[in-house]
Homo-oligomer: A and B are copies of this chain.
Amino acid sequence: MCPVLLSNAKLLYDPYSLRTYADKSIYLEDGIIEAVSESSTGYKTDLVIDCKRKLVLPGLANTHTHLAMTLLRGAADDLSLRDWLSKTVWPSERRMGRDHVRAGTALGLVELIKSGVTAFADMYFFEDAVEEETVKAGLRAHLAPAVSDGGVPASDVTDVLAMVKSKRNSNLIRWALGPHSLYSCSKETLLTVAQAKHDLNLPVHMHLAETRWSEHRSMEIYGLREVDALERLGLLGEDFLGAHGVWLTKQEVNKLGNYRGAVSYCPVSNMKLAEGGHPPIPEMINSGVRVSFGTDGAASNNSLNIFETIKVGALLLRHMRWDPAVLSPAVALRMATETGYAVLGFPRHPLAPGGIGDLITISLDTPSLQGHPAMSVASSLVYSPPLNVEDMIVDGRPVMVERNILHLKEEKVIEDFRKASLSLEAAS
Instruction: Give chain A's interface residues, CB within 8 Å of chain B.
Output: 70-80, 84, 92, 107, 110-111, 114, 268, 270-276, 278, 298-299, 301-305, 308, 311-312, 315-316, 318-319, 321-326, 328-329, 365, 367-368, 370-376, 379-380, 383-385, 387-388, 410-411, 413-414, 417-418, 421-422, 425
Contact = CB atoms under 8 A, between A and B. Distances in A.
A98 to B, nearest CB: 19
B73 A316 contact: no
Contacts of A278: 319
Contacts of A312: 312, 315
A383 B70 contact: no
Contacts of A302: 368, 371, 379-380, 383-384
Contacts of A425: 372-374
12 contacts: A73-B384, A74-B380, A74-B383, A77-B324, A272-B324, A278-B319, A302-B368, A302-B383, A302-B384, A370-B417, A371-B421, A373-B425
A84 B318 CA distance: 15
Contacts of A321: 274
Given A318-B271, A368-B304, A74 B376 contact: yes
A324 B370 contact: no
Contacts of A325: 78-79
Contact of A371 (B70, B373, B388): B70
A365 B414 contact: yes
Contacts of A72: 371-372
Contacts of A84: 324
Given A77-B379, A110-B367, A374-B74, A318 B414 contact: no
Given A368-B302, A370-B107, A421-B373, A329 B77 contact: yes
A367 B273 CA distance: 22
Contacts of A77: 324, 329, 379, 383
